[in-house]
Structures are given as C-alpha cells and as structure tokens.
A and B are shown apart, each in its own frame.
Chain A
Amino acid sequence: MTPASGGTADAWLLVLAVIAPAACVPLALALGERGARWLALALAPAGVALAAAITAAVWRRGDALVYVLGGWAPPLGIALRADGLSAAMLLTTAVVIGAAALYARADLDPGRGAPESRASFLFWPLLLTTWAGLNAVFVGSDLFHLFVALELLTFGAVPLVCLDGRPATIAAALRYLLFALAGSLLYLLGTGLLYGVYGTLDVVLLAERVRVEPTARIAAALMTAGLLAKVALFPLHLWLPPAHAGAPPAASAVLSALVVKGSFVLIVRLWLDALPGLATPAAAQLLAALGAAAIVFGSVLALRQARLKLLVAYSTVAQVGYLFLAFPLASATQLGSAAWTGGILQAVSHAVAKAAMFLSAGLIAKALGHDRIDGLAGVGRALPKTLFAFGLAGLSLMGLPPSGGFMAKWLLLRAAIDGGQWWWALVILAGGMFTGGYVFRVVARALASTGEPPTLRSPVPRHLEALVLALALLSVAIGLLPFASFGLLQIGRPS
C-alpha cells in the first residue's frame, strides 16, 4: 500500500457498506414501526447487491480494496480495507440479515390496526445497528477502529437478546453484556500497549513494525483473551445459550450466525495480519484445544437439552470450536492456506446453516406453541418443508457431502492429516458424529408417527417455509461451488 496515493478504485463501496446501515438507524427511529420495517426491508437487497459488488471488485483486482478516510494515510489517519475474508463475510452478513428481516416482517408484525409493540419496533433499528457494526468490523484495518466497531456490534446485539422483556432474557442480556464488557476492556488494554510500543494501530503498518518481544506477546494474549469471551469459546461460553435461545427467532439467527463471527474475524486479523509470527505453536495448540473442548462439551450439552432452541444454541458453542482448529493447522503445514480456507468456510457455512436452523426452530415453536423436543411428534407430517430445512442445515453442520460444512471440515481434516496432527482429525470426526446425534434426535422425534397430526396453534405462512428452505439449500450449495472460487478467501492474505 502506498500511503501517499491513497485508496484503490471502487473503494468507496466500503464506505457505503458501513454508512448505509448506520445512517438508516436514526432514520428508522424517527420513522416509527412501519417506516423502520420498510426501510430495513428495502436496504436488505441493496446490501446484498453492495456486498456482491465488493466481492466482485476484490476478485477482479486480486488484491485488497483500500479506502483512506479523508485522504489521511495511516499512521495519522485510518484506512478501510477489504480482502477476500472481508468480502466473504460481508456477503454472508447481507444474506443472513436479509433473511432475518424477511422472517421478522411476518413474525413480529403486530397485525393490522394493532398498536405497535416495543419489540416489533425496536427490532429494526437494532438489526441495522448490528449490521453496521458487523460491516465496520469486516472492513476495519485499524485496531482502535475495530474496537469501536466491536462495541457498536455489542450495543446492537445485547438489546436484541431481551427484546421481549421477560426477566429471564433480561438476565441473559445482562450476563452477555458483562462478558462482552470484560472482553472489550482486555482488548483495549492490549491496544494501548501496542500503541505505546509501536506508535501505530494500523494493521498493515503494525505487521511491518512488530517484533517478537514480551510487550507484544502480552498485548496479543490480552486481546485474544478478550475476544474469546465475545466469541464464546469454551470455557467462556456460559453466556451464549440463554442469550441466543431466549431472543426472538430472527434475532437468534443474527446473533448465532453473525455476531460471534465478528469477534472471530478480529482474532484472525490479529493473529495473521497485524501480528504475524508472534504466536508460538504452543499458543495455537492451546486455542485449538479450547476449540476441541468446545466441540465436545457443546455437543454433549446439546444432546441433553429438552428444548429445541437451546439445543440449537448449544450447537453454536460446539460449531464455534471448529473455527479455532484452523490455528495450529495453518501454522504447521504446507497446507496452511487449506486450513484457513477451511476455517473461514466453516464460519460462512455455519452462519447460513445456523440461521436456517434457528428460523425453522422458530417456525416449529410458533406453530406448536412450545419447543419441547419430546412434544415434536408429528411435526414431520404437519410442517414437512420446515423440518426438511432443519435437517438439511443439520447435514451441513455434521459435515456430510455435498454441503458447505463438508468442504470446511474436509479441508481442516486434510490439513490435520497431512500436517501430522492426527489428534485434531479425531476431534473433527467425533464432532461430526455428535452433531449427527443431536440433529437425528430432533428429526427422529419429529418424524415419529402419532395417531393424528398435532394441532397447530397458528398456520405457518408458506413464504416463510420457502425462505427457511432456501437458506438451508444455500448452506448445502456452498459445498457445490467450484473449488477455484475458494481462492477468493486467499486474496489479500499475507503469504
């Protein structure tokens, strides 16, 4: 990057990706419920188009897009930067947010003539805030900018948890916020130390200046620990299940699919882009060990849940573990890029599959009036499309071909075996088996035959069933992409 000449062509798209949802937040607050809903629904397709345009621009260029804010080059100013990882995450975010908005339009609608409720109104500005925060995290290239973006994300996500105002969800939101606060201060402390030593927080400049020394190591450890609390990696996962299971389905989908990934992307930025060569193999092994523990504990707890939404939430705890298996595999093998591609593909395919899962669980819960797994018998006959979507998403989480989850886990598995770290291969295989166990438990129960089909409390709108099915099919279709397209994820990676 040449600081003087400023940014690259098409880089204004990055500014738009952050500004558009952020500018719509005050507008949505001013417009009231109906206006906010239409604003968000209109922005969703525009957001998908914008993310696709950014992806195309990164692909065409073969290098990262850079926008230098106000013409002030780092280290004095800050830059926005979008590489292949950013592009993939921006696109995933736009698709999942769009799906959640479509779902919420039907789910949270108070009905014609009914007075607007707090939840049905506030969902929209909070959704837009979360979107702005996520986009700012994905295009950020300055560690302090990333701190502010992460906080914006937290302030959007925490109120989404307690939208319905029940005491249990308020307590869950408060616990989530406390974990997030501790995490952000640890991150900020590391940022302060790095600035004190190197005099810059720009990711690219920092990578040039950083040396292997105790201060940098301590800063990296503090920041990683803080971010792990926000990703909810075992053993810092305690806040996640009640928070994600208590929220309305559309909010759960956004929280589980996207919000935790924001912090994950930041960890990748930190380890790979900002502070390369700083992490010891032992540190990477430790991260992966925590990931392995998350896979085992999360899956076992998911198997034991009595309620469908909690099962799906514990499944997130387990699936987040896979993301961290990429760290030792990438540093130790010739196939490092394969391991990273696998890790990022896991983030993307889990996002789509988990959104499909939460939304289909929401449809089932709304139709039955409860989400007890024991009471699901006959759902297979009453809501075949919804259950099929749940099963397809589960297929992707298990890692069965030809799904996106299969590609992700296969790449990780190959990196583990080729790199001689066979113990992680065992974890990946065992995790797939566990996932199969809890998905099968739900599907088997729902397909169990009863004398008569269960009485549905409310009919399920056709278009919502189609929406959920489309998301589930998308999570499978990611696995059918031509292999060359995964090269996108390598664009802008330091080699």
Chain B
Amino acid sequence: MSAATLYGLCAALLAALGLYGFVVQPHPLRKIVAFNVFGGGVFVVFGVAARRGAAAGFAADPVPHAMVITGIVVAFVSTALAVALLLRLHAETGRASLRLDEPGADERGDGA
C-alpha cells in the first residue's frame, strides 16, 4: 500500500467520522467540532491530490497546497463565526441548544 493510498483512506475515515458526528450530534458545539473533523478529512484529500501530482505530472503538485491554505482560512473563519453566534445565544438565553428556535417562538401563537 502506497503512502498516498494510506493517506486517502485516512482522509475518508476522518471525513466520514466528521459527517456522521455533524448529522447525529444535536448540540451545536459538538456540531462545530464535528465540522472541523470533517474539514480535516477534506484537507487531507487535497494533500493526497498533491502527493499524486494530478496536474503537474510529478509528485508534490503545489496547487492543492495553495487551495488547502485558503480552505483552512475559510474553515477557521466559519468556526469563529459559529462559536461567536453560539456564545451570544448562550449569553442571551442561558442555553446553548437550538431547541428554542421554532420560527418566531417568542411571538407567535400557533405552531406550524
């Protein structure tokens, strides 16, 4: 088994774990952590693409590295925004779950 294949399997495992956690965990903070695990898996996929040298024809194609750096920055910003929203929600309501977010629950009579 080549190193690239091993990394590829590792990426698949991380992405699957992260996606599973994202779907089944009800708590937003756990979802955010799962999102980062999923993200880790996706970034390793780019690493594998680089190692296999898709476009350049030689090992260690630099383009996926450039893309992964951008991807990491985007994931970091997303995480920061999500955590900030969650902290604000906790500060306002004392809870950190998405249970009370029925559309306009605080101002509407009947449910839908």
**CB-defined interface of A453-491 with B at 8 Å, one 1/0 digit per residue?**
000000000000000000000000000000000000000
Which DSSP category, helix, strand, loop or mixed, fits chain A's interface? helix
Within 8 Å CB of B93, what residues of A?
167
**B59 close to chain A: CB less than 8 A:** no
Distance (whole angstroms) from the CB of A141 to the closest CB of chain B: 16
Distance (whole angstroms) from the CB of A271 to the closest CB of chain B: 22
Residues facing B in A433-463 (CB within 8 A) are none
Q: Is the CB of A192 within 8 A of B108?
A: no
**B70 close to chain A: CB less than 8 A:** yes
Distance (whole angstroms) from the CB of A178 to the closest CB of chain B: 6
**A212 close to chain B: CB less than 8 A:** no
Residues facing B in A299-314 (CB within 8 A) are 301, 304-307, 310
Q: Is the CB of A174 within 8 A of B82?
A: yes
Within 8 Å CB of A242, what residues of B?
101-104
Q: Report if A305-B112 is in contact (Cβ < 8 Å); known contacts: A166-B106, A171-B89, A188-B71.
A: yes
**B10 close to chain A: CB less than 8 A:** no
Number of interface residues of B (CB under 8 A): 50
B32, B42, B108: the one contacting A185 at CB < 8 Å is B42
Question: From A199, which residue of chain B is reached at the shortest CB distance?
Answer: B55
Known A158-B85, A159-B81, A174-B82; further 10 A-B contacts with Cβ < 8 A: A148-B74, A151-B74, A151-B78, A175-B101, A177-B78, A178-B35, A182-B38, A189-B41, A192-B46, A310-B112
Q: List 27 A-B contacts (CB under 8 A).
A: A144-B70, A147-B71, A154-B78, A155-B77, A158-B81, A162-B85, A165-B88, A165-B92, A168-B103, A168-B104, A170-B89, A171-B89, A172-B103, A173-B85, A174-B101, A177-B85, A178-B32, A181-B78, A181-B82, A185-B75, A192-B49, A195-B63, A200-B55, A301-B112, A306-B109, A310-B108, A310-B112
Chain B residues within 8 Å of A, Cβ to Cβ:
15, 19, 22, 28, 31-32, 35, 38-39, 41-42, 45-46, 48-49, 52, 54-56, 61, 63-64, 67, 70-71, 74-75, 77-78, 81-82, 85-86, 88-89, 92-93, 98, 100-110, 112
